[in-house]
Amino acid sequence: MAEINKSKPAIVIGTIIGKVVTVVGWIWSVFWGLMAIMSFSTDDLLNDTTFRVTSFILFLSGVLLIVLGKQNTNLIKLYRKYVAQLSIDENHSISNLAASTGQPVDFVRKKLNKMIEKKYFVNAYIDEANGCIVLSNQGDSNQSNQTVHTERTEHSVKTVKTNNMNKTVKISQTITGDLAEFDSAFAEFESAFADFDSAFAELDDDSHKTETVKPEIKAVKCKGCGATNKVLTGSVAECEFCGSYLQA
């Protein structure tokens, strides 16, 4: 399982910060914008040149807050858009992502690095050699599914071997009982030997067979980021994009 540091809290916090900064920026810029306008229309202290310059600078700082808040909000919207595309692309190719969103590859790569830096993607990194984004949760999920499959296969093999051993014991008991009477022992022994030979052939045949139980995979949509993940039915996994818990 991944660490406690998930991307879902980072997304929620980023959304709140973006909205708060935007609102504060509007209030700040409107207030100081009005003060700057009033400084040109009155004859009192507001008419002071220093106050005009200060008001204008503070107005610009409010505009800057608005821009920063919008950038943060737009990045989260873009993250959800990227997640929706990456969830249907097993290779997580950056070029495919750029083509599907109609954006330049360099732009997409820059935005992905920004999202990784802000922890929107959990334990992810850009594989420059293969031109894709690698999500570590995906590897953990595949390893978990493979472990479950191996355990089920081993259980099936043990069951087959146990059944074959029981058959062999029954045949041995039949032969021992038949030898109690010598007159009919030979005929019965010959019959039992034929059964034993048949059972042994079946044992040898079954020992090479292993019942492979294929785990059923179910597509689950993440409530945190909206991505579609493949999860083993009856198990609990994590979203490979934001780390939220999923249950099939």
The one-letter amino acid at 93: S
For the chain, the average pLDDT equals 74
- What is the structure's pLDDT at 149? 43
Mean pLDDT value of segment 82-102 = 91
Q: Which residues of 76-93 are buried (b: 16+ CB within 10 A; e: fewer)?
A: bebbeebbbbbbeeeebb
Residue 226 has pLDDT above 50, yes or no: yes
Q: CB of 69 within 8 A of CB of 21? A: yes
What tokens were used for 232?
């083993």
Which has more confidence, 35 or 28? Answer: 28
Q: Is residue 141 part of a domain?
A: no
Q: What is the pLDDT of residue 111?
A: 93
> Token digits for 212?
């492979």
Q: Is residue 193 a part of any domain in this protein?
A: yes
Q: Confirm if 229 and 239 have CB atoms less than 8 A apart.
A: yes
Are 18 and 130 members of one domain?
Answer: yes
Percent of the chain residues topping a pLDDT of 70: 62
For residues 23-43, average pLDDT: 86
Euclidean distance between CA atoms 90 and 104, whole angstroms: 21
- Which DSSP symbol is given to 4? S
Of residues 126, 131, 104, 103, the one with CA closest to residue 114: 126
**pLDDT for 32 beyond 70:** yes
Average pLDDT over residues 153-163: 51
For residue 201, what pLDDT band results from cuts at 50, 70 and 90? Answer: low
- Number of domains present in the structure of the chain: 3
> Among 64, 74, 71, 54, which residue's Cα sits nearest to residue 29?
64
Beta bridge partners, 189, equal: none
E-strand stretches of the chain: 124-127, 132-135, 217-221, 228-232, 236-238, 245-247
The reply to whether 57 and 93 lie within a common domain is yes
Quote the CA–CA distance of 230 and 94 in Å, as a whole number.
Answer: 21
C-alpha span between 52 and 40 (Å, rounded): 8
| Amino acid making up residue 240 | E
Based on the fold, state whether residues 64 and 162 are members of the same structural domain. Answer: no
Which tokens in the block code for residue 80?
Answer: 């959800």
Residue 59: per-residue pLDDT: 93
Q: Give 219's pLDDT tier (boundaries 50, 70, 90).
A: confident
Same domain (yes/no): 37, 88: yes
Considering only CA atoms, which of 236, 218, 219, 235 is closest in space to residue 227? 219
Report if residue 1 sits inside a domain: no
Residues 55 and 111 in one domain: yes
Task: Tell me the mean pLDDT in the region 137-153.
Answer: 46
Looking at the fold, whether 64 and 163 belong to one and the same domain comes out as no
